[in-house]
Amino acid sequence: MIINLNQFISAEKPYWDELETVLEQIEKKPEQGMSLEHLKRFHYLYQRAAADLAKIMTFSAEPHIRQYLELIVSRAYGEIYESRDVSSAWSPLKWFWQTFPQTFRTHINQFWLALITMLIGCLLGGLLVAIDPSTKEFLLPFSHLHDDPSQRVAKEESSSKDRLAGAKANFSSYLMTHNTRVSIFTLALGITYGVGTLIMLFYNGVILGAVFWDYIAAGETSFLFGWLLPHGAVEIPAILVAGQAGLVLAGALIGWGGRPLTFRMRFRAISDHLVTLIAGGAIMLIWAGIIESFFSQYHEPVIPYAVKIAFGITEILLLTWFFARAGRLSPDGHATQATH
């Protein structure tokens, strides 16, 4: 049986238009709530459009009207059956001081796994250079690290001119963008069931271990810590946080966690966490990039190593406090940072 298409469209179009208007409003300002009356009307319009769709599919194969109805019904369906929270107003401060550390603690096991992987890489890198110092030429990606550490220290400490003069900002931006790229890549490799993420962490560990052993064996421990701690105290944890995010992604892929959730539900549950972790890590890398360019590259006699090491240790302590304590709920239910 064929329906009277003209009559059908004339009768129903005002309702479709009204539904479209409501959808436009919701999609423009999803955080804006609806009164009960508006909600009831929205639901009615959705059901009416859905019924029209059913009718047109049953009685007529007219494709344009069907596609149009499918489109508005699908948009309304997405709004009506979405159960995830729409935060009323996103606050960057609240996100940084509460959401980020809370998310970090939620997935602390993945962080420990990332740390252990990097430490194993570190041990292996150190061991390889200890057994055969020539391996550092293959292990270390930067040519300036291939030289004898003592010679480099002597050269840096005796240099009277600022080799980064007029290029600090550019160097800093290079560090920020490069390290953020590495972090995103480490996260994205989580899709390889975490294997790629673990390899990235392990490889970074190998490089660190090789550099550490090379400088310590050469008796340049103060220089090493004075050079690496100020920026490394934040940069290395940032890479670990990216690794943590990659392992969270891998966990969702594999189905860790015990709860009988479907593949889609697991991904849905972690999507906000992944973005929080990687964005938090990127902020840490901005800080690390500034410090590495403007502070870490200056050695004695310009800046005493004790000052640089103390600066790095202070950063580690603050970072530890941040991840361990920030955003914890006090007994009255408020986040500790929110009260400050």
Partner 1 sequence: MAASRTDTLTIETPEGIVFSLQLAGPLTRFLAWCVDMACIAAITGGLNTVLSVLGVINRDIAMAAVALAYFIVSVGYGMATEWFWRGQTVGKRLLRLRVADAQGLRLQFSQIAIRNLMRFVDSLPAFYLVGGLACLLSAKAQRLGDLAGNTIVVWIPRISQPDLKQLLKDSPNSFTAYPQLCARLRHRVLPREANLALQALLRRDELADDARVKLFSEMAGYFRTMVAFPQEADDSISDEQYVRNVADILFSSKDGRL
- Per-residue CA distances from 145 to 122, 179, 208, 215, 340 (Å): 16, 18, 11, 10, 44
- Contact 286/179 with Cβ under 8 angstroms? no
Distance between CA 203 and CA 122 in Å, rounded?
8
Q: How far is the CB of 42 from partner 1 (least distance, A)?
A: 14
Contact string 213-252 vs partner 1 (x = CB under 8 A): ------------------------------------x---
329: β partners:
335
Sequence-ordered strand ranges (E) for 112-207: none
**Residue among 166 and 301 whose Cβ is closer to partner 1:** 166
Among 15, 18, 34, 70, binds partner 1 (CB under 8 A): 70
Among 114, 140, 189, 241, binds partner 1 (CB under 8 A): 189
Q: Is 336 left (phi over 0), alpha (psi -120 to 50) or beta?
A: alpha
Listed ranges 119-127, 131-139, 189-197, 212-220: which one lies at the site for partner 1 (CB under 8 A): 189-197
Listed ranges 56-64, 99-107, 111-119, 319-327: which one lies at the site for partner 1 (CB under 8 A): 56-64
Among 113, 118, 187, 200, binds partner 1 (CB under 8 A): 187
Contacts with partner 1 by CB under 8 A: the residue count is 70
- Per-residue CA distances from 283 to 236, 244, 286, 326 (Å): 13, 16, 5, 16
Contact string 78-97 vs partner 1 (x = CB under 8 A): xx-xx-x-------------
Among 21, 150, 271, 314, binds partner 1 (CB under 8 A): 271
Q: Does the protein bind partner 1 through residue 120 (CB under 8 A)?
A: no
Q: Does the protein bind partner 1 through residue 7 (CB under 8 A)?
A: yes
Listed ranges 33-41, 162-170, 233-241, 298-306: which one lies at the site for partner 1 (CB under 8 A): 162-170
Distance between CA 227 and CA 212 in Å, rounded?
11
**Residue among 84 and 340 whose Cβ is closer to partner 1:** 84
Tokens of 111: 């962080």
User: Shortest CA distance to 256 belongs to which of 113, 104, 117?
Assistant: 113
Q: Does the protein bind partner 1 through residue 18 (CB under 8 A)?
A: no
- Contact 295/303 with Cβ under 8 angstroms? yes
Among 153, 278, 284, 309, binds partner 1 (CB under 8 A): 278
Q: Does the protein bind partner 1 through residue 65 (CB under 8 A)?
A: yes
Distance between CA 186 and CA 118 in Å, rounded?
13
Listed ranges 53-61, 117-125, 132-140, 225-233: which one lies at the site for partner 1 (CB under 8 A): 53-61
Contacts of 120 (CB under 8 A, 6+ apart): 202, 205
DSSP string, 185-224: HHHHGGGGTTHHHHHHHHHHHHHHHHHHHHHHHTT-HHHH
Query: Which phi and psi (to 5°) does residue 335 adopt?
Result: -70, 140
Q: How far is the CB of 68 from partner 1 (least distance, A)?
A: 4
335: β partners:
329
Listed ranges 152-160, 180-188, 223-231, 303-311: which one lies at the site for partner 1 (CB under 8 A): 180-188
**Residue among 62 and 300 whose Cβ is closer to partner 1:** 62
Q: Which residue ranges make up the site for partner 1 (CB under 8 A)?
A: 1-9, 11, 27, 30, 47, 50-51, 53-55, 57, 59-65, 67-71, 73-74, 77-79, 81-82, 84, 166-170, 172-174, 176-177, 180-181, 184-185, 187-192, 196, 249, 263-264, 267-268, 271-272, 274-275, 278
